[in-house]
């Protein structure tokens, strides 16, 4: 069985209750200043990974960190995952600059993220 290309986990988003405090901790941990710094999202690029801080879990109501797998065809991967027993939590949608994101839950309720860049 061939599968749409999977480029691994490159993005992890963390829900935080105090964005300023979390920004200080993650800046110290990663050793870099944020690349994106706004009131609704702070993002760091470090060692080929993107670490994002989402105030209060954002519109997706995150309650724990979510790892995002980068894929070449998000719709095909969603179909493959749902056929295997996953449930779509957040359908694929554009979050800007042609980047598509989606989330599914596995059979234990763990949230898995998908990202497709154009």
The structural domains of the chain, with segments of one domain joined by +, span 7-63, 71-118
The pTM of the full predicted model, rounded to 2 decimals, is 0.86
Q: Which CATH class is domain 71-118?
A: alpha beta
C-alpha to C-alpha distance for 14 and 12, rounded to whole angstroms: 7
Residue 76 pLDDT? 96
C-alpha to C-alpha distance for 116 and 36, rounded to whole angstroms: 19
Architecture of the domain defined by 7-63: 2-Layer Sandwich (3.30)
Residue 4 pLDDT? 61
Mean pLDDT (10-residue bins), the chain, 118 residues: 75 96 97 96 95 91 93 96 96 93 94 94
Residue 60 pLDDT? 82
Strands 111-116 and 66-71, how do they pair? parallel
Residue 53 pLDDT? 97
């Amino acid at each position: 069985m061939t599968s749409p290309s999977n480029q691994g986990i490159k993005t992890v988003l963390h829900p935080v209750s105090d964005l300023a405090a979390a920004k200080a901790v993650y800046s110290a941990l990663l050793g870099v200043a944020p690349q994106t710094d706004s009131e609704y999202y702070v993002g760091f690029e470090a060692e080929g990974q993107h670490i994002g801080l989402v105030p209060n879990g954002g519109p997706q109501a995150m309650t724990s960190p979510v790892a995002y797998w980068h894929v070449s065809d998000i719709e095909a991967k969603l179909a493959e995952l749902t056929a295997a027993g996953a449930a779509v939590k957040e359908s694929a949608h554009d979050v800007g600059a042609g980047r598509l994101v989606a989330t599914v839950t596995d059979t234990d309720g763990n949230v898995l993220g998908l990202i497709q860049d154009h």
